[in-house]
Structure 1
Amino acid sequence: MSVSEYKRALLYRKAQANVCKNDYFNKIQSFTNDTVVGGNFLTLEETDNIINSLKDKKINSKIKVEIDSYQQLVEFIKEKVAGLSSYLLIDEEWKFCGMYKISSEFSSDYNFD
């Protein structure tokens, strides 16, 4: 993708953010049980850079983890990232609004419906 195509795509995504922003904020608030702070959003460029760097990484693990429910998944994640900041990406809205940085606990009873 050329620079001008990327810039055009960014403009489109930023415009789409205005459409889905309220829903995304509500989802974040439900997930974190906390007020959404505008300064915790990464720019779309920063979000893209992180996603692209993660795509290039290879992570090999020989540990097999069996997870049967969302609650088990949340507890597993909480254990691994305890005390660390994390990035939250919910549904498709993050592509338009950017990643949201959280440093607090998140809800283990979030309703994905």
Structure 2
Amino acid sequence: MTINPYDKELLYRKAQGKKIQNSHEKKIREIFTNNHQKIAKLKLTETDDVLNKIKKLKLKTCLNEELHSFSECLNRFSPELYQKEFYAFIDEDWKYYGAIKLPKKTIINPQFDFDKSVSDELRFFTSDLSIQISIDYSSYGSKKLYECTIRRLLPNQEPLPS
């Protein structure tokens, strides 16, 4: 019996996801303040499907800024997400745990501490995949830098996982 390489990879990723589950779920609680809202965890295959669809899209516009606080980043992009459902890909954890899908009016915590949470990257995609927002965090001594990028993509007409 031969195991499909993708299935073998999924088994490995799923096992690794169990190892990081507690720390990843803690990050989710710290990033999104209205946890009473329904947060849907995507399966690894669903996460991969979303990424494959994103890879096929064409870039329409891109705005990239380096900012000195997370709240500055939120001021730039939170209106883009607040009225839409969106996917969140947190650090590299999503590779092993899966992405999450959040409902409209989800509130992102402006006090989220990347250092305390051992986090350096957040990616958000509107559910229609027309907007991608990324925050890459880095710190050098006492200096903190947030590279905030907003990409507008040509919309995708294919349905995505719920």
**What letter corresponds to residue 43 of structure 2 in structure 1?**
T
Residue 60 of structure 2: SS of its match in structure 1?
coil
Residue 48 of structure 1: aligned partner = 48
| Structure with higher RCO (Cα < 8 A, 6+ apart) | 1
TM-score, with normalisation over the residues of structure 2?
Answer: 0.61
Provide the rounded CA distance (Å) in 2 between the counterparts of 1:7 and 1:38.
29
Query: Does structure 2 retain, via aligned residues, the 8 Å contact 1:41–1:98?
Result: yes
Equivalent position of 1:92 in the other structure: 92
> Greater share of strand residues, 1 or 2?
2
Structure 1 residue aligned with 2:139? none
Q: Structure 1: how far apart are the matches of 2:36 and 2:28?
A: 7
Between 1:64-73 and 1:16-25, the stretch displaced more is: 64-73
Verify the 8 A CA contact 1:25 1:36 in the aligned structure 2.
no
Amino acid in structure 2 at the alignment position of 1:33? T
Q: Flag the 1:64–1:95 CA change in 2: closer, same or farther, 3 A.
A: closer
Between the two proteins, the alignment pairs up a number of residues equal to 110
Extract unaligned runs of 5+ from structure 1.
none
Q: Which amino acid aligns with 2:65?
A: E
Q: For residues 6 and 39 of structure 2, what CA distance do their matches in structure 1 show?
A: 24
* Structure 2 SS opposite 1:60: strand
TM-score, normalization: structure 1? Answer: 0.84
Partner of 1:72: 72
Deviation at 1:82, TM superposition (A): 2.3
Percent of paired sites with the same residue: 27
What is the identity, as a one-letter code, of the residue corresponding to 2:52? N
Change (3 A) 1:78 1:38: closer
Deviation at 1:86, TM superposition (A): 1.1
Structure (1 or 2) with the greater helix fraction:
1
**1:78-113 CA-partner distances (Å, limit 9, x unpaired):** 111221111111111111111111221111121111
- 2:108 is the alignment partner of 1:110: no
User: Taking structure 1 as reference, are residues 47 and 36 closer, same or farther at Cα in structure 2, changes over 3 Å only?
Assistant: farther
Deviations along 1:55-80, one digit per CA (max 9) or x if unpaired, are 1211121x645341322222222111
